[in-house]
Structure 1
């Protein structure tokens, strides 16, 4: 078999790349280890930047997103018994975020690829990469061979793409945080019209949503916490203790349909390319979810890679491909900083002392009282141009 671009991973990055390449007349094959049902049910991010929404709409896969997504024009910060709204419509006019689950983006992209006759293969075993430093790289899987001009590694942090790069080529930068997030989906209407980020002495909490009937919540929990330690009653009690911190707010509760613990880590591997292999999304970088940047960074990577591949296949120009990593990493490191900043601003740390806590509260006071500081938060949250 032969194709122009072999893509590993049928998450948002791999599927969107395949679709954008199709629109430019470039062939691709997508290989995915999991089943279609698994990737379409996998609950992940749900906050889409303005640029991500624009990309999906321009690619012709935004119809359901525009119909069912929940546009938000601000977020709420709660701390020390007070509530403060960061108004996007005032601070960054014309830009907003849209709440629409990652699994819904994946469903839309799979449907679009299959409708266009795209080659997306699920439950593919034993994928291996070969000859990356030649002009004839290839992929092998399940006894088959796929010859490519280029390979795109979109298979996430635990995939096979990044480990296929020879030792010593990549510089790795990482940080592990001393806490995790317990996330739940609940069959209950949201208690707030916008996302609520809460800093409390008990730890961080986030009230989000997926639909008008489904809410999403996160709790800061100790690193290594297990789901079994958090029965439903304990989760709701802790969410109420952290979120019902301002007068007049009551948290509605309901049936919890899903729960899981997510470690908090930051990771960047650079460069994001080696030979004919180009990494995108979580295969190259991870951010703590506080800033809602993971999915959006993957989309930004794919936009850059699509343009670079189009220049290569349409005009024989290798310059944009050579500069792919450099172009992506500028945004990646901006998102890393913003995610670190939001995380340290809103979480409690085991080694906090009274001095550190006062500094944290002082910074929150500054963000919520200074238009310049609030604008910095808003423009990063909705996504840099």
Structure 2
């Protein structure tokens, strides 16, 4: 009995009285609900690598649009008096490891330092534009003495302007040509991707939705087209048309949409028997509106992801075709043409190859990383 009385004293019964419940407060939504797209873009913004890639792509796109306008040179303007000039930028020339000071260094080897010096002076003379430095006195063996000549190529050529990416063997400004070539490559990729998007989505949507005989016929046509190599189609386009943007875009577009159509067909086959589709058909919605208003929007995430993977493939395909001589031809500029020209002069003027190759590499890597980030963001199963 004493123990029960102690419990009553220890616990206050008022603590166990029913709480006042406000039904309006319990039903209130504390935060704003997010749609699928808001949730996807929120997940994408958390992906640091994807955001850095997006910033790099935006920067390259802006330079491709406005870069050729940043100086007075044109992509085809030639001047042999300024040929093969190395890169020189007003601010970056003070950063040694970038080698953008317009200087070129040559090392001459001979039996003695005096003979190496004479060999260097016979090549460059004794002007103010060259400085000589003895690297090794030598020990009498062949090639043991080394003399380095540091040449201000701009002063040697009598050029006062600065060429940020240098010039090629014909004296054309590489800054202008690089960004003009990037613009052309992006333009070809954009055309090919848009054709891929519209043809692939329409073809796959019709094939998957109607099924039956329509699906069988369309899929047999697809199998025939997928069996033809892109290179064969491109050669046929070049025979009919001249090598250029149109022939490359058509060659990419003729078979490039096959992957997109298969993805869209598979998704629509999975979705067309869902309740919301049956309800729309019951209410009298036409087949075209069911596809455009319900089925395609529900596959839009996969469409965007596949499109992001298609763009770098189209850019690389154009660069590859131009590199092997089946794409754009000089004096037109594209990343493939510039890399081809730079490859021919790799040992003498490597800067002609380095800059377009870096731009192409950044484009490929950035598009693929961004596509991976979008895949993770738009696919609920792959989110953290």
Query: TM-score, normalised to structure 2's length?
Result: 0.25
Larger Rg: 2
Larger fraction in helix: 2
Larger fraction in strand: 1
